[in-house]
A and B are shown apart, each in its own frame.
Chain A
Amino acid sequence: MSESLLEVTGLGVRFGTPDGEVSAVQDLNFEVSAGECLGIVGESGSGKSQSVLSLLGLLADNGRASGCAHFGGRDLLALSAAELAAVRGAQIAMVFQDPMTALNPYLSIGSQMSLVLRRHEQLSPRAARDRCTEMLTSVNISDAANRLDSFPHELSGGQRQRVMIAAALLCRPRLLIADEPTTALDVTVQAQILALISQLREQFDTAVLLITHDLGVVAGHCDRVLVMEQGQRRDYGGVKEIFTTPAHDYTRRLLAAVPRIDAPGRQALPDTVDELLAVQDLSVSFRLPPLRWPGRARELRAVDDISFALAAGETLGVVGESGCGKSTLARAVLRLVPPGAGRVSLLGRELLPLQGESLRAARRDLQVVFQDPLASLDPRMTVRDIVAEPLESFQPELDRDSVTARVAELLGRVGLEAAHLNRYPHEFSGGQSQRIGIARALICAPKLVICDEAVSALDVSVQAQIIDLLLDLQQELGLALIFIAHDLAVVRQISHRVLVMYLGRAVELAAANELYERPRHPYTRALLQAVPIPDPDLERGRERQLLSGDVPSPLQPPSGCAFRTRCSFADARCAAERPVLHELHGGLVACHRAEEI
């Protein structure tokens, strides 16, 4: 074991609020050795971020830290504000979650980076610029010298996070703190960024403190792990030890709750089941105003020629990275966006031509649960009114008491209490709010529920409960589900069949287990490889081919196969001819070269 770089003992963080003091972190002990990577894992509210922010004096104004944090022979918590500022950025640097907001949109990235060097190393503007160019090159940003004059909005999400990392490493800090550095990024980009951090850790001999909620990320990249819950240390040790023989019950529960992409999911339903929903050649386009005036309006094809069918009681998972059109697909089926071309029929009835009252009536069989549990509940209505609303609109003849009774019954079914009836949404946690949303979706006993990223905003343990609830309800009520998510592991858990989308198009549609075990499309394959597995041995032994670059803009999709710009198998035909979905080994795949691969 090498020398200890940072030694934290008895760390406590408290916040003063109008309702009294709240303790966020209690008696936390850990250390980071030179060059190692320590992972801090925990769910939201576990105090993982606050504990590192407190070390650097970055707590909100009402926060207070206590304890000791020895770094380079000094106690960080005892330093004056000026002394601490001299450490920040020079010896300890930080990378934050969302590179879009963590970079200043009003300054060129060159100026933002130079300010750091001019502060800590008193470099001349020219020398600072040269160092920034060099550093941008090290984080694999091409044409670095010119990129310095770009503004953050001109870069893609992945590039922005590279810039953040470059800015953090400018002064060769001995410790890099990365606070959920990939949570805001797509999974293929996450894999690139994590690989970059690991590579730079060796290159610059920097220790890394990686804060994350994702146990898969920890398994692949950390040497040692600290598990936190409710502001306290639950587990602390080597990464293999934590995953194989966790000491604390909480860690065991956490590990059990994490969905694994390598865990077998549900078997496909037999073909004999009745068809409930049929979607044929569905397309949705949005017209965007011209970039400059006068000019031609731009067309964004959010959903491009999608077809699938769904049986009663079946779950179809829809996966893809941001901008792939999966949410628009949901809204198009729900008729929440103006319908484009194609056909959608539910129980044999065509939905797209419906208007006004007939459309309203058709909606009874078709409900939705949205991603952001709080945003999908009207803040000024009580839980009773929110859940009752669809029932009152479809069965206005019901009297108030029986509606309330129905609501109370359903609240019980989704794991809430009748006592919650008169509460308002802001009094509930994320998981509880999502239960309210599910109750609202179920109150009219629909045939099909579309879950649009319904568990993405929730912590793993809550996520697992909601998934279980959905599975139970499906069993009990014979519901069909369209389950849209960017998290491939969750989708495997709940889906019978899975549809993979890329830039508005379907690239693969197959039975879940088949698709996860034998992906036919190169994109599906890359996507699956990028998802981390919460098992250190497996994760480190995996062979991966990382996709390069980010998803292209859906405004200007590549010609032919949309994926060809990032595909290692692409040839001339892929650029010229658009592949269509065709059958291959029982599944459907849209790739010219699927057979060879």
Chain B
Amino acid sequence: MNRPAEIVAPPGRSLWSDAWRVLRRNRAAMTALLLLATMTLLVIVGPWLSAFSFDATDWDRISEPPSLASGHWFGTDALGRDLFVRTLYGGRISLLVGAVATAVSLLIGISYGAIAGYVGGRVDQVMMRIVDILYALPFMFLVILLMVLFGRNIVLIFFAIGAINWLDMARIVRGQAMSLRSKEYVEAARAGGVRTGRIIFRHIVPNLLGVVIVYATLTVPQVILVESFLSFLGLGVQEPMTSWGALVNEGAQELENAPWMLLFPATWLALTLFCFNFVGDGLRDALDPRDRQG
């Protein structure tokens, strides 16, 4: 066979590596990413390293302001519990809810949207009509109702929050799937005899991924926000476990005597949301093909 002796092909620049370069140049997003990583690490390992336990009461130090000397860096709460450890514990719950509920909403949203978008026709019309109806419901009220009536249960929280957030994802994925389906390169693949499964796997999914990643990053802070909101209303996890929302609520009640009880958890919560939003924005700039030049 007269096969070319050697085919030398220098690697090209894929859209993923281009996106990564754009993201790396975005200082705000990279800082936020670094900060997020640090906070996540701290939240996970911090409580094990601390001398205090999250539910142990220090009767001598009730509502004590922050001090380096006592070791209570963030001070203590009205029950004399160390606020630093409690904040980290709250972070565990908040981040866990953020991750799991986002995964739940992605799972529902992507499958629903992809089916509606790729199948199209009447199925699509019915599925999207259902989404329209659900959009008009005051979901927050239903979730509050759910939490009040069925008790505070972390699994319930995951699913309740995931169930609110999948609607947007479904719409986005459906729109993408529909536009990808009529793209010329998908038509070319069909004309080239490529099987449907392979078209979905090789052409549709990789081109959908960017949008999904961006949207997932922006869903995490929303989910954390909802969980905190529920906790704030006293509907989240149960004492002595805690989450940022619950800590903020406690802080709000002790506002005049112990402002640090509000300030520390509030800062952590806001900082986390801030970082996620920044990373999401950065990813959108990097992955959104509309803004790419050259």
Contacts and interface: CB of A to CB of B under 8 A. Distances in A.
A–B contact with Cβ pairs below 8 Å: the answer is yes
Interface stretch (A141-149, A423-431, A484-492): A423-431
Contact of B194 (A371, A377, A393, A408): A393
B61 interface: no
Majority-rule SS of B interface residues: loop
Contact of B15 (A360, A372, A386, A426): A426
Interface stretch (A4-12, A190-198, A398-406): A398-406
17 contacts: A331-B187, A363-B191, A364-B193, A367-B192, A368-B188, A370-B187, A372-B184, A380-B206, A380-B207, A382-B14, A383-B12, A393-B194, A394-B193, A418-B9, A419-B10, A423-B13, A440-B188
A375 interface: yes
Contact of B9 (A360, A381, A393, A421): A421
A334 interface: yes
Nearest to A424: B12
Given A372-B184, A426-B15, A389 B195 contact: no
Given A366-B191, A418-B8, A423-B13, 11 more contacts: A363-B192, A370-B184, A370-B187, A371-B184, A376-B188, A382-B12, A386-B185, A390-B192, A393-B194, A418-B7, A419-B8
A361 interface: yes
Given A376-B184, A376-B185, A426-B15, A389 B7 contact: no
* Chain B interface bracket (under 10, 10 to 19, 20 to 34, 35 or more): 20 to 34
Best-surrounded residue of B184, B198, B203 (most CB of chain A within 10 A):
B184
B207 A378 contact: yes
B193 A363 contact: yes
B289 interface: yes
Contacts of A386: 185
B193 A404 contact: no
A360 B191 CA distance: 8
A572 interface: no
B9 A379 contact: no
A379 B16 CA distance: 10
Contacts of B293: 17
B3 interface: yes
B129 interface: no
Nearest to A426: B15
B4 interface: yes
B24 interface: no
A505 interface: no
B193 A390 contact: yes
Nearest to B210: A380
Nearest to A360: B193
Top 6 closest A-B pairs, CB basis? Answer: A390-B192, A423-B12, A421-B9, A376-B184, A422-B9, A378-B185
A562 B174 CA distance: 38
A375 B186 CA distance: 10
A420 interface: yes
Contacts of A376: 184-185, 187-188
B205 to A, nearest CB: 10
Given A375-B183, A424-B13, A424-B15, A361 B193 contact: yes
Contact of B14 (A366, A389, A419, A424): A424
Contacts of B190: 336
A409 interface: yes
Contacts of A424: 12-15
Interface in B27-62: none
A380 B207 CA distance: 7
B138 interface: no
Best-surrounded residue of B8, B14, B185, B294 (most CB of chain A within 10 A):
B185
A437 interface: yes
Nearest to A386: B185
Contacts of B207: 378-380
Contact of B4 (A331, A336, A409): A409
Contacts of B198: 393
Contact of A421 (B7, B184, B191): B7
Contact of B191 (A334, A405, A409): A334
Contacts of B13: 423-424, 427
Contacts of B187: 331, 336, 368, 370, 376
A384 interface: yes
Given A378-B207, A426-B15, A419 B9 contact: yes
Contacts of A419: 8-10
B189 interface: yes
Contacts of B184: 370-372, 375-376
B3 A379 contact: no
